[in-house]
Structure 1
Amino acid sequence: MGKLTVTTFVTLDGVMQAPGGPEEDPSGGFEYGGWQAPYGDEETGEFILDVFGRAEAFLLGRRTYEIFAGYWPQHDDPANPVASRLNRLPKYVATASLKEPAEWEATTFVDGEHLQSEIVRIKDAMAGELQVWGSGALAQWLLARDLVEELNLLVYPVFLGAGRKLFPTGGLPTACEVLTSRTTASGTSIHTYRPSGRATFGTVGD
């Protein structure tokens, strides 16, 4: 049985929109795309490569899929672990608007009507990780249904005051176990969490 993991880049105020560049996702009038770029360092790169090395398949939202499909097939390099895995491993896309056949090889579109049962079926048929990268709306949908088994958050030392956030108001109150935590030379905090059930509450000092 495989494991469903989510890996996301976020700011200090929880924004996950358009980390990679100004043109990546300007929807909603977002003007701060590319906020991740000034903080690249070797340790972050090594972590990302390690996560990709555990992938057996990818589960992507439509917007992230379109961004990836517009870039990675044109930057294929068998020696690059990110490019080689994204271009060759199975990719499942949660979408009601995109239809087969997909132009990017090894891609399957999964209609939202049967998404939860399909995700469980796909994950249970593999031994490695079914990985979600970015895909904010999909990640929120998965978290709301307790389907995420491991969460990698790369928190960058910047806050923006605007943009789509990973954890919206109205999400399920969820407690997590911290599996690993570190801070890189550029100030990026990398945390790996395992959701452990509903959050509990009390009074400090009792």
Structure 2
Amino acid sequence: MRKVIVGAFVSMDGVMQAPGGPQEDPVGDFRYGGWLVPYFDDTLGVKVGEIFARPFDLLLGRKIYDIFAAHWPYVGPEEPLGALFDQIEKYVATRNEHFKPSWQNSQVLGADAVAAVRKLKEQEGPDLLTQGSTDFLQTLHAHDLVDEMYIMIFPLVLGKGKKLFADGAAPAAFNLLSTQASDSGVIVNHYVRAGDIETGSFAADNPSPAELERRRQLGL
């Protein structure tokens, strides 16, 4: 069985949009493209390298696929990640039925991307690692297809932009496997899926008349 593993750079308010540069994704008049760059230190580089050190294929939304396809095949040998991305399989989610990927070892998930991901997860092979892909990620979260997450939280608030989670995500519990802070203040958290959400209550066994009235007004 293959896992879907999310790798996400996010601000403290959950924004993922255009971390790498101003031209990456200015949709919606997003003005802070490149917000990741000032915080990317050696510690963070090591953690990202650890994620890519595990065997994986890439699972990408169309926009991030286009960004990667316009960059990684053209980097020099001093960027070993380019050669790695060239060699591995890349699965692309797109609504354009006529889209034909130009990057080698790439294939489209098809009209039903959710069903295609479920089928991939049932197969033997390397895990499926996402990068960026906010719209597609929200689809994966809505159908409870995410098994692990590496969430790198940067110490800034962006106020607007595309987010890691949106309304409609399937309720799910995760265990925190590890956490580490970089010198620049980035918190790297590694989560793994952990079943259903458990709830409890701090309410008094004998609620006061005021509390009972509050509940009545809420229709509880």
Establish whether TM, by shorter chain, passes 0.5.
yes
Say whether the 8 Å CA contact 2:110–2:116 is kept in structure 1.
no
- Which amino acid in the other structure matches residue 130 of structure 1? L
Say whether the 8 Å CA contact 1:56–1:128 is kept in structure 2.
yes
Please provide the CA RMSD for this pair: 1.8
Q: What displacement does 1:92 show?
A: 0.5
Alignment-derived partner of residue 97 in structure 1: 96
Say whether the 8 Å CA contact 2:55–2:126 is kept in structure 1.
yes
- Which amino acid in the other structure matches residue 81 of structure 2? V
Alignment-derived partner of residue 44 in structure 2: 44
Say whether the 8 Å CA contact 1:41–1:185 is kept in structure 2.
yes
Say whether the 8 Å CA contact 2:97–2:111 is kept in structure 1.
no
Q: What displacement does 1:44 show?
A: 0.9
Considering only CA atoms, is the larger Rg found in Structure 1 or Structure 2?
Answer: 2
Q: What displacement does 1:76 show?
A: 4.5
1:129-168 → structure 2 map (5 Å cutoff): 129-168=127-166
Could you tell which deviates more after superposition, 149-158 or 138-147? 138-147
1:48-127 → structure 2 map (5 Å cutoff): 48-77=48-77, 80-97=79-96, 99=98, 101-113=100-112, 115-127=113-125
- Which amino acid in the other structure matches residue 47 of structure 1? K
Cα distance in 1 between the residues matched to 2:187 and 2:97: 35
Aligned-residue identity in percent: 36
Q: What displacement does 1:151 show?
A: 0.6
Q: What displacement does 1:101 show?
A: 3.9
Cα distance in 2 between the residues matched to 1:171 and 1:89: 29
Q: What displacement does 1:127 show?
A: 3.3
Alignment-derived partner of residue 169 in structure 2: 171
Q: What displacement does 1:130 show?
A: 1.0
Cα distance in 2 between the residues matched to 1:19 and 1:12: 13
Q: Which of 170, 179, 182 lines up with 1:181 in the alignment? A: 179
Alignment-derived partner of residue 208 in structure 2: none
Task: Return closer, same or farther for 1:66/1:142 CA change in 2, 3 Å cut-off.
Answer: same
Cα distance in 1 between the residues matched to 2:174 and 2:16: 20
Q: Can you give the 5+ residue segments of structure 2 that lack an aligned partner in the other structure?
A: 205-220
- Which amino acid in the other structure matches residue 202 of structure 1? G
Q: Can you give the 5+ residue segments of structure 1 that lack an aligned partner in the other structure?
A: none
Q: What displacement does 1:201 show?
A: 2.9
Say whether the 8 Å CA contact 1:75–1:83 is kept in structure 2.
yes
SS at structure 1 position matched to 2:195: strand
SS at structure 2 position matched to 1:64: helix
Question: Structure 1, residues 105-145: CA drift from partner, whole Å, max 9, x if none?
Answer: 001012232x2232122233333211111111111111111
SS at structure 1 position matched to 2:149: strand
Say whether the 8 Å CA contact 1:52–1:81 is kept in structure 2.
no
- Which amino acid in the other structure matches residue 107 of structure 2? T
Say whether the 8 Å CA contact 1:176–1:194 is kept in structure 2.
yes
SS at structure 1 position matched to 2:28: helix
Cα distance in 2 between the residues matched to 1:56 and 1:76: 22
TM-score (norm 1): 0.91
Cα distance in 1 between the residues matched to 2:195 and 2:85: 31
Cα distance in 1 between the residues matched to 2:92 and 2:133: 10
Cα distance in 2 between the residues matched to 1:74 and 1:38: 24
The size of the alignment, in residue pairs, is: 204
Cα distance in 1 between the residues matched to 2:153 and 2:98: 34
Q: Which has the higher strand share?
A: 1
Question: Structure 1, residues 151-204: CA drift from partner, whole Å, max 9, x if none?
Answer: 110000011111111111332332211111111111000001112233333323
